[in-house]
Structure 1
Amino acid sequence: MNADNLKDQYLAVRRHSVKICEPLETEDYVPQPVPFVSPPKWHLAHSTWFFETFILNPFGKGYQVFSEDFSFLFNSYYNNVGERVLRTDRGNITRPTIVTVYAYRKYVDEHMITLLDTLNDPAALKLIELGLHHEQQHQELLLTDIKYILGHNPLFPVYSPDSNLVKDVNKETGSVQIAEGIYEVGFQGDGFCFDNELGRHKVYLNAFEISKALVTNAEYIEFMEAGGYQDFNLWLDEGWSWINENKITAPMYWHKINGAWHYYTLAGLQRIAPEAILSHVSFFEAAAFAQWKDMRLPTESEWEIASEQFHWGKRWEWTHSAYLPYPDFVKASGAVGEYNGKFMINTMVLRGSSVATPEGHSRKTYRNFFHTHERWQYTGIRLVK
């Protein structure tokens, strides 16, 4: 990718982050109701800090940082860069204001465009491309964090009337048969990928059958009404502890009102559509549902091999694979090496993409990863037997 192409992509990606935030009121930019949710203002500043820190500081001759405080405020987890605000304290950053953060974005964008007019350093161009995909990741987090913030407001406010992102239905039924054999998984080609997708390698798979359709709300309600949340035999031990300690009895955002199930969507509180694809479930819930159906979740290799034979992209799909390095994975030196490698522990892989994933940011080798109890992303279930 050359500088001219990168400039167009840079401007498009940066505009999209702002567009996501257009429906917000000033007060919506600041809350952090739980540690795993970051305020929208922080996302806007952090994604800008990435370009300032990794591109403008080393490659922009004579560049002056917008504020000496911002590296401390908006660094996420890069120990190589220096000290930072604790993640749990991001909601306490009432200053700088959102007006200042947008001024920061404008300042960095102007310097980035000037730099791209003359930049021909391959290493810098590669870092900019990484930065754009990094911002796209934060665009998805923006949507899901905004939903958590508004969805836990007792008034269930509307983000946008046209933003019910959980109304999609399956386009296919039936299943796909995959034969026993040796297959190759992992990224190959000339396009962009993250380092955790590299190390294409062979895997042996037993024969299996995978559903073309994702689990629907109606199917999950059947599980709930059959006592799924009360039967310890269905749950992994940690999952059973989790639902009891946290009094979990339904997917995130579900509320039973006057005997009928409703869920919060970005378009407000709505009656659940039974035929719509289930969303916002944890790995624990996915595994328990699979057990109840006498089936299981796919491994990430099974999912990747079968993915060309069914529709995907509406929900991040839980797999029963731990997030581990591929063979020959090499952790990059310095701060960039902190992007993926140090998180390869105690999380499970999700595959596909979701309705919140930016256009052009998904591919079948993409390896997303979250902790087993997390469900504020648009997560769903595909079953295997």
Structure 2
Amino acid sequence: MSKELITKYKEIRAYTETICKPLKPEDYAIQVVQFASPAKWHLAHTTWFFETFILKNYLDNYAEFDSNFNFLFNSYYNNVGDRILQTNRGNMSRPSTDEIYQYRAHVDASIEKFLSDVPDKNIIDLITLGLNHEQQHQELLITDVKYMLGHNPIFPVFKDNSSLIEDKNKSNESINIKAGLYNIGHQGTHFCYDNELGVHQVYVESFEICNHLVTNGEYIDFIEAGGYLDFNLWLDEGWSWVNKNNINSPMYWHKIKGEWYYYTLSGLKKVDKNAILCHINYFEANSFAEWKGMRLPTEFEWEIAAKQINWGKRWEWTNSAYLPYPNFKKENGAVGEYNGKFMSSKMVLRGASVATSKNHSRLTYRNFFSPTERWQFTGIRLAK
């Protein structure tokens, strides 16, 4: 088990650094907006996780890399101590990016040495949690880099031939699901987050769900029909968001000489009408569904249908608030802060996206974001 775990650890840690390879030195420290963290911070925070929860607690005579790093790179774990404000993550010109990479090497060497002996189950579970945590940040790293470059006035290319949003549907059909009682929640011995646990039954009425996601062309029809101008289509909070922020299209879309363009990681491109829609928030998804005379599926309907539908290209908004399952239990201490304390004012997204790391998706995965957020690779699946 130790050799397998070390191999997995090395692979996942290396991929984070691979994502960063196209970055210029000036890119690493930029924080364009509060919810998007600098690349340098992601590199350090994922390392801090292993140092804080494993090395400091379990490795005798571990030499901490820098005593300031707990304050600088703790994200939201109140049990671990004070931390900088999230809005200040982009103010750190020091420590340098080189020092952050040295920090990663220091922690990696200590973890690999530590794992040379067969660890007990509790430590294996913590390492596994840390690796899944890093995979979450790999996707956030990609989306945060896109937000940074997508708000650069010259729309720079991050990586040629890697737009990540050119994929298309494989089906235009719908699937019918019968009414009945269904089991919801993670079963089995493979890794999952605590918010997936608590297998329970739900009753659903019969419903129909699309085996495809909404395309850019379909969404352009919504725009041209006045979808962003008709308050009847919008939830009240969504309508306030549209007007306060002068929203008239998905994130990264620009109308240039009468044609729609969008920023991609491969630069500015003309919108492909046949490609799957991306970067919309819950309010936009809900309004489009209203316009179509349909609705978003609940997270339970999505999970029930997931074995039959094509998924994995976009995080899919559901019509479910992010709430605990029956018998949900938070762990004691800092690890218990991982998911449970965010169960308010969030909506559930299901599936995965083209930016999701390899082997980091499953039918029961519950992602969650605020209904205004759209910098992730989000899309729309309709139901009725």
**1:279, 1:84 → 2: CA distance?**
33
CA shift at 1:203, angstroms? 0.2
Please give the residue correspondences for 1:188-207 in structure 2 after superposition, counting only pairs within 5 Å.
Answer: 188-207=187-206
* Helix, strand or coil at the partner of 1:290: helix
| Unpaired segments ≥5 residues, structure 1 | none
- SS in structure 1 of the partner of residue 27 of structure 2: helix
Pairing of 1:112-131 with structure 2 (within 5 A): 112-131=111-130
**In structure 1, what is the Cα distance between the partners aligned to 2:226 and 2:370?**
25
Q: CA deviation at 1:3?
A: 2.0
Separation in 2 of the partners of 1:133 and 1:88? 25
Of 116-125 and 15-24, more deviation after overlay is shown by 116-125
Q: In the aligned structure 1, how far is the partner of 2:189 from the partner of 2:3?
A: 18
Counterparts of 1:182 and 1:253, CA distance in 2: 41
3-state secondary structure, aligned to 1:263:
strand
CA separation in 2, counterparts of 1:131 and 1:336?
10
2:139 counterpart residue number:
140
How many percent identity over aligned positions? Answer: 60
Report the equivalent of 1:366.
Answer: 365
**Aligned 1:48-59 pairs, distance under 5 A:** 48-59=47-58
Q: Which runs of 4+ in 1 moved over 2 A?
A: none
- Residue 258 of structure 1 corresponds to 257
Describe how 1:348-359 pairs up with structure 2 within 5 A: 348-359=347-358
Q: Is the partner of 1:308 in helix, strand or coil?
A: coil
Matched, 1:44 2:43: yes
Matching residue of 1:346: 345
Measured in 1, the distance between the counterparts of 2:32 and 2:174 equals 40
* Cα distance in structure 2, aligned partners of 1:220 and 1:300: 23
SS at match of 1:250: coil
Letter in 2 for 1:305: I
Distance in 1 (alpha carbons) for counterparts of 2:350 and 2:312: 9
TM-score by length of 1: 0.99
2:13 matches 1:14: yes
Cα deviation digits, residues 91-118 of structure 1 (max 9, x gap): 0011000000000000000000000001
C-alpha separation between the residues in 1 aligned to 2:63 and 2:113? 14
The separation in 1 between residues aligned to 2:120 and 2:185, in whole angstroms, is: 28
Question: What is the rounded CA distance, in whole Å, between the counterparts of 1:163 and 1:376 in structure 2?
Answer: 17
**DSSP 3-state at the match of 1:374:** coil
In the other structure, the counterpart of 1:208 is 207
Residues 114-160 of structure 1: CA deviation (Å, up to 9, x unaligned): 00001422111110000000000000000000000000000100000
5 Å-filtered alignment, 1:83-98, equals 83-98=82-97
CA RMSD, 1 decimal: 0.5
Alignment of 1:62-73 (within 5 A): 62-73=61-72
SS in 1 for 2:317: strand
How far apart are 1:305 and its partner, in Å? 0.3
Alignment partner, residue 184 of structure 2: 185
List aligned pairs for 1:246-325, cutoff 5 A. Answer: 246-325=245-324
Aligned 1:18-37 pairs, distance under 5 A = 18-37=17-36
Q: Mark the runs of 5 or more structure 2 residues left unpaired by the alignment.
A: none
How far off is 1:358 after superposition?
Answer: 0.3
Paired position in structure 2 for 1:155 = 154
Structure 2 residue aligned with 1:384: 383
1:345 Cα deviation after fit = 0.5
1:6 positional shift:
1.0
Which residue identity lines up with residue 120 of structure 1 in the other structure? Answer: P
User: Residue 83 of structure 2 aligns to a residue in which SS?
Assistant: coil
TM-score, normalised relative to structure 2: 1.00
1:334 is displaced (CA, Å) by 0.1
The answer to whether structure 1 residue 76 and structure 2 residue 75 are counterparts is: yes
Letter matched to residue 141 of structure 1: L
Instruction: Tell me the secondary structure at the aligned position of residue 239 of structure 1.
Output: helix
